[in-house]
Amino acid sequence: MEYKCNICGLHYRSEELAKECYDWCSKHDSCKLEVAEKSIEAMEARKYRQLSP
Ligand SMILES: [Zn+2]
């Protein structure tokens, strides 16, 4: 199950994180870094970087 922040479009594995992101995004113009780096997109990007030579 994935949860999505409807404002920035990032996906999270927990509803809490998605809500935290949504709350932040609705008040600010940018994403909160601590939350955004827990997104599935950020985790996938890290995984990809680790696999790259
Ligand atoms: Zn967001």
Given a contact cutoff of 8 angstroms between Cβ atoms, the answer to whether 36 and 42 are in contact is: yes
pLDDT in tens, 12-37: 999 999 999 999 999 998 878 999 99
Q: 45: CA distance to ligand 1 center in Å?
A: 17
Q: Look over the chain and give the mean of its residue pLDDT values, rounded to a whole number.
A: 92
CB neighbour list of residue 1: distance below 8 Å, 6 or more residues apart: 13
CA-based diameter of the chain, in Å?
Answer: 39
Distance from the alpha carbon of residue 11 to the mean position of ligand 1, in angstroms? 9
Range of the domain at 18: 3-51
Question: If you measure from the C-alpha of residue 10 to the centroid of ligand 1, how many angstroms do you get, rounded to a whole number?
Answer: 6
CA distance 19 to 17: 5
Rounded to whole angstroms, how far apart are CA atoms 30 and 49?
Answer: 24
Two tokens at 24?
Answer: 């932040």
* Predicted TM-score (pTM) of this structure: 0.82
> What share of the chain has pLDDT > 70, as a percent?
96
Tally the domains of the chain: 1
Pick 2 or 30 by higher pLDDT. Answer: 2
